[in-house]
Amino acid sequence: MDNDARLIAFYRGEGQDHKGRLLEEIWALSSFWLEHTHDYIQWLFPIPEAGRFNAFAPLLTSDVQAAFEREEPLRRHQQRSLDVMLDFFGLLRDGNAITAQPTLSMQTHIWLKAGGHNHLRITRMIRSLALCHQPTLARAVQQAVIELGTQHGVVSEASLRYWREAF
């Protein structure tokens, strides 16, 4: 099976990632697992560029983008992936509105620091949503992390710039 078919099957809930995990299995994993595992985010939020942490993840091609445009279930599944990651980051989504959970704090949410791998994940999420035909949602995530990251944390100017330029 080629990379495009693998990624589409994974997002349909019919295929597995490079480690044999189904999409629904990843959605059910703990925050500890999400923080300390680095080879799933490329599957949840594909982009055209290869990542540093997972050489086995398929890239977002024009054919996969067309599938996301055509198939509403793919977009809905990516929204569920987004909800999982937002919860991990202490955020909530209501439609296209992204807000802070009452528990959002620098002490418990590692992305509210100056830098780190979670900032790269956030950039990837924004870019992938935009490229997978969900620009309104991508913009909402972008605005929320910039606003909340500066209000509740000490996010670096470099990370803010990456988020602003994600699409």
Contact (Cβ atoms closer than 8 angstroms) between residue 93 and residue 148? no
Token code pair at residue 135: 């620009």
For 92, phi and psi rounded to 5 degrees?
Answer: -130, 150
The confidence score (pLDDT) of residue 1 equals 66
Q: Is 112 in a helix, a strand, or coil? A: helix
CA distance 105 to 114: 14
The confidence score (pLDDT) of residue 80 equals 98
Q: Is 140 in a helix, a strand, or coil? A: helix
The interaxial angle of helices 72-88 and 3-12, nearest 10 deg, is 70
Give, for 31, the enclosing helix (H) or strand (E): helix 31-36
Name the pLDDT band for 53 (thresholds 50, 70, 90). low
The pTM assigned to this predicted structure is: 0.95
Maximum Cα–Cα distance for the chain, whole Å?
46
The confidence score (pLDDT) of residue 51 equals 72
Residue 55: is its pLDDT beyond 80? no
Of all residues in the chain, what percent carry a pLDDT higher than 70? 98
The CA-atom distances, in angstroms, between 48 and each of 127, 130, 143 are 10, 12, 23
Of all residues in the chain, what percent carry a pLDDT higher than 90? 80
CA distance 149 to 152: 6
pLDDT digits (tens, 9 = 90+) for 131-150: 999 999 999 999 999 999 98
